Amino acid sequence: MRISTANLYATSTNQLNTLQGALARTQMQLSTDRRLLTAADDPVASARALEVSQSQEINAQFATNRNSAKSSLAQVESTLQNTGDLLQDIQTLAVSAGNATMLPSDREKLATELEGRLADLLGVANTADGAGGYLFSGYKTTTQPFTSSPGGATYQGDQGVRQLQVSDSRKLPLSASGSAIFEAIPTGNGTFQTQAGANNTGAALISSGSVVDRNALTSTKYEIKFAVSATTPPVTTYSVNTKDPDGPVANKQGLPYKDGNQIEIDGMAFDIKGAPAQDDTFSIEPSQKQSVFTTVTDLISTLRLAGEGSTGKAALTNGLNTALDNLKNAHENVLTVQSSVGAHMKELDYLDSTGDDLDIQYASTLDDLVGLDTVKAISDFSQQQMTLQAAQMSFKTMSGLSLFNYL
């Protein structure tokens, strides 16, 4: 069979180009550590690899979000811890104010010290987040949450709770609104509150009480009013009246008063101790929401306005008991929010572990789809290199042949 020189050169060149292309492709695979260099290599695998890569990038973004959430929640937790410490300190000062040997000048010193604690509490509530905003202002991040006011403090934020997507199906709050932490605090025992009348002249004290029958509770406000006869010895009685014009009639009039005996109304139980005076009153009302700043402000006023004698001491004790109940509720509220923050941080740790597992799965899937068998590729490269070299040598030899070599 006769082969022309031109045909020989063309065929050999094509073969060499094919071998060089295969060698270059294998070299590119080794340099990129990828089996698929273009989508045309395997359209199905390439499409699937694109989906997995996008999922991997989203998972990485969730990991970044979780780190950001951890940082925010750690700052919130630290701030709440400082708040709890301040409230405990204020409670300690309130307890010491009840010392019977304390003079008015001593109570004034305590009141001044409490003003400092109130300022500290306001400062903690206005903690900045380190990014130009505030921790507890809700969505209004650049607005200072609280400003001082005659009644304690005024909230300027909103009720919003900033959240961050930390997994494909979970958003976590980055903080809590200042209103929920510092303002939405139940008064009294959390269900109802008892309070001595501001104009009482006797020496009676009322307890914070407890719920004995939750099914019997109503939203009715009651007033207990005392009457003391002019007889010798005097006889003390009390009446229970509703403070709501449209409320039910209590129908408890002229009941004999016994020092320390428990009184029950609508599933609520409390006791009154000491000697009430004529027309002294005590109110029993459903618990309300009150700012902790108002509670501390009222406590300061109680210390400064307390008079002397049995009447003054009773007013002081009743005021301190009210303040201690409300401070206890405020502290428990902070602990509840702090516990919630801790639970969210623990959940982030779990989501981190899940995210790491997903990342490993994505990497494994991508390796199966586009990954390179390096050992096989090196073997192929060596074989292709040898084949190319042999083809080049063969072409060189054949291209040098001529009939003139045999003349």
Q: What is the pLDDT of residues 333-362, one digit of tens each?
A: 999 999 999 999 999 999 999 999 999 998
Contacts of 215 (CB under 8 A, 6+ apart): 267
Residue that wins the pLDDT comparison between 407 and 338: 338
Q: How far apart are CA 53 and CA 56, in angstroms?
A: 5
Q: How far apart are CA 328 and CA 368, in angstroms?
A: 60
- Residue 251 pLDDT more than 90? no
Q: Model confidence at 27, in pLDDT bands (50, 70, 90)?
A: low
Strands (E), 243-310: 252-256, 262-265, 268-273, 281-286, 289-290
Write down the pLDDT at residue 26. Answer: 59
Q: How far apart are CA 181 and CA 122, in angstroms?
A: 12
DSSP state of 137: S
Q: Which amino acid is at 277?
A: A
Q: How far apart are CA 183 and CA 265, in angstroms?
A: 28
Gyration radius (Cα) of the chain, Å? 41
Residue boundaries of the structural domains of the chain? 40-187+288-400, 192-287
Indicate if the alpha-carbon torsion angle 249, 251, 255, 261 is positive or negative. Answer: negative
Average pLDDT over the chain, rounded to an integer = 86
User: For domain 40-187+288-400, which CATH number applies: 1.20.1330.10, 3.40.50.2300, 1.20.1250.20, 3.40.50.10490?
Assistant: 1.20.1330.10
Coil vs helix vs strand at 254: strand
Phi-psi region of 294 (alpha: psi -120 to 50; beta: other; left: phi over 0): alpha
Residues 303/108, Cβ–Cβ less than 8 Å: yes
pLDDT tens-digit map of 266-315: 999 999 999 999 999 999 999 999 999 999 999 999 999 888 888 999 99
Write down the pLDDT at residue 53. Answer: 82
- Residue 187 pLDDT more than 90? yes
pLDDT tens-digit map of 57-88: 999 999 999 999 999 999 999 999 999 999 99
Residues 276/199, Cβ–Cβ less than 8 Å: no
* Percent of the chain topping pLDDT 90: 66
Residues 334-345, buried b or exposed e (16+ Cβ, 10 A)? Answer: beebbeebeebb
- Residue 377 pLDDT more than 80? no
Residues 258-293, buried b or exposed e (16+ Cβ, 10 A)? Answer: eeeeebebbbbebebebbbbeebbbbbbbbeebbbb
Q: How far apart are CA 90 and CA 327, in angstroms?
A: 8
Q: How far apart are CA 124 and CA 118, in angstroms?
A: 10
Q: What is the pTM of this model?
A: 0.80
- Residue 18 pLDDT more than 90? no
- Residue 407 pLDDT more than 60? no
Average pLDDT over residues 106-123: 96
End-to-end Cα, the chain, rounded Å: 22
